[in-house]
Amino acid sequence: MNILKESSFSRPYFEEGEKRGELSGAKKVLIRQGQARFGRLNKATRAKIESIDDLEQLEALSVKLLNAANWTDLLADAE
């Protein structure tokens, strides 16, 4: 497996998979923590979170969640 991961041909595929996994995990955590704090989210809110493809933005939202009043407040500046 390491040989495949280190080859110049397959490295971009592994890196893309790792990026997708990190994004997916960050979204799941944000949704779980947000539901614990604000209650269930609607489809539009879930879609907005799922559309975020920037790990740094998701991490910033997880910090902002600590002081946000609700889902709308949390996602007010999200692109």
| Cα 22 to Cα 43: distance, rounded to the nearest angstrom | 22
Any domain includes 40: yes
Q: Kindly state the helix (H) or strand (E) to which residue 26 belongs, with its residue range.
A: helix 11-38
**Is residue 43 in a domain?**
yes
H helices then E strands: how many in the chain? 5, 0
What's the chain's Rg over C-alpha atoms? 16
pLDDT, tens digit (0-9, with 9 covering 90-100), for 53-65: 999 999 999 999 9
Per the structure, the count of domains in the chain is 1
Q: For residue 18, which of 71, 55, 44 has the smallest C-alpha distance?
A: 55
Output the six-digit token pair for 37. Answer: 């704090």
Q: Is residue 79 included in any domain, yes or no?
A: no
Give the domain range for residue 37: 2-74
What's the pLDDT tens digit per position in 6-47? 666 666 665 666 777 789 999 999 999 999 999 999 999 999
- Please give the model's pTM, rounded to 2 decimal places: 0.77
